[in-house]
């Protein structure tokens, strides 16, 4: 079936799918480059099950589309698409984590549309981001809930999942301040000194994109904190400043 993600969503007649309009445009931008690739997809938060059907229509070459929901009624969802599987249970439990890892590892696209509480969003990110294939995408939907106090969030709450993702933008730029502070100290509000997730310490977080109610984290193709790369100066005329004078960096190699 052809059409953009938004077109497929709006034309969908099967199980109900509930998405904000801005998500559909963002998904087309993010998904189009991998649309015809044989990928594994995981979505936490199935609800009525329609989003899995839309994903199946869009990603016709996908290998597996795994949905997970804590609501036992989701066990009754049936699909004609054999690639779609629904697992019932808490995605952050060891049992469900193992079942997802066996079925879909490595995960190319992960969508967290689960409880939206900060504690669950944090746990899912720490648990599942290591399973993301290099270059893959990890998406948190409805991140506006991370600002709600009753959901464990808040604009000024330092323990909210939103705060961790903000701090990860500093981790992406670690090569520029690594001589001033350690990652352990930066993230001490979330992880004990001896419990910093290896994927953070090794530099697997490549980029973060913050949109209204959505966070997109891309995994690096290789683990490194030296993300800036070599300086590329071209041209032979320096009539204003010499190349070594026009910009001085204090970056520290890591």
Domains of the chain: 1-114 (3.40.50.150)
CA angle 128, 101, 191 (to 5 degrees): 30
pLDDT tens, 122-154? Answer: 999 999 999 999 999 999 999 999 999 998 888
Q: pTM for this one?
A: 0.93
Closest CA to 130 of 64, 202, 183, 182: 202
pLDDT score of 240: 86
| Distance separating the N- and C-terminal Cα atoms of the chain | 47
Q: What is the mean pLDDT of each run of 10 residues along the chain (254 residues)?
A: 93 94 97 98 96 97 97 96 97 97 94 96 98 98 95 90 97 97 96 94 98 98 96 88 61 53
The CB-side HSE value for 105 (13 A sphere, CA atoms) comes to 11
Pairwise CA distance, residues 79 & 33, whole Å: 26
Widest Cα–Cα separation across the chain = 72
Chain center to CA of 91: 15
């Amino acid at each position: 079936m052809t059409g953009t993600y938004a077109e497929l969503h709006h034309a969908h007649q099967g199980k109900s799918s509930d998405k904000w309009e801005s998500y559909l445009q963002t998904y087309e931008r993010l998904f189009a480059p991998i649309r015809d690739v044989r990928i594994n997809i995981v979505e936490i938060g199935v609800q009525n099950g329609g989003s899995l059907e839309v994903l199946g229509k869009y990603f016709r070459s996908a290998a597996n589309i795994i949905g997970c929901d804590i609501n036992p009624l989701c066990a009754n969802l049936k699909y004609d698409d054999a690639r779609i599987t629904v697992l019932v249970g808490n995605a952050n439990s060891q049992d469900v984590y193992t079942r997802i890892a066996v079925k879909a590892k490595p995960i190319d696209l992960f969508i967290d549309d689960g409880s939206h509480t900060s504690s669950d969003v944090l746990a899912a990110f720490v648990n599942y981001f290591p399973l993301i294939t290099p270059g893959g995408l990890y998406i948190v939907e409805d991140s506006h809930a991370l600002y709600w106090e009753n959901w464990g969030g808040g604009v000024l709450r330092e323990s909210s999942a939103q705060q961790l993702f903000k701090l990860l933008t500093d981790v992406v730029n670690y090569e520029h301040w690594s001589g001033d502070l350690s990652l352990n100290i930066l993230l001490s509000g979330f992880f004990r000194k001896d419990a910093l997730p290896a994927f953070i310490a090794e530099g697997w977080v490549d980029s973060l994109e913050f949109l209204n109610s959505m966070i997109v984290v891309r995994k690096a193709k290789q683990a490194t904190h030296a993300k800036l790369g070599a300086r590329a100066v071209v041209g032979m005329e320096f009539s204003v400043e010499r190349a070594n004078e026009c910009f001085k960096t204090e970056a520290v190699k890591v």
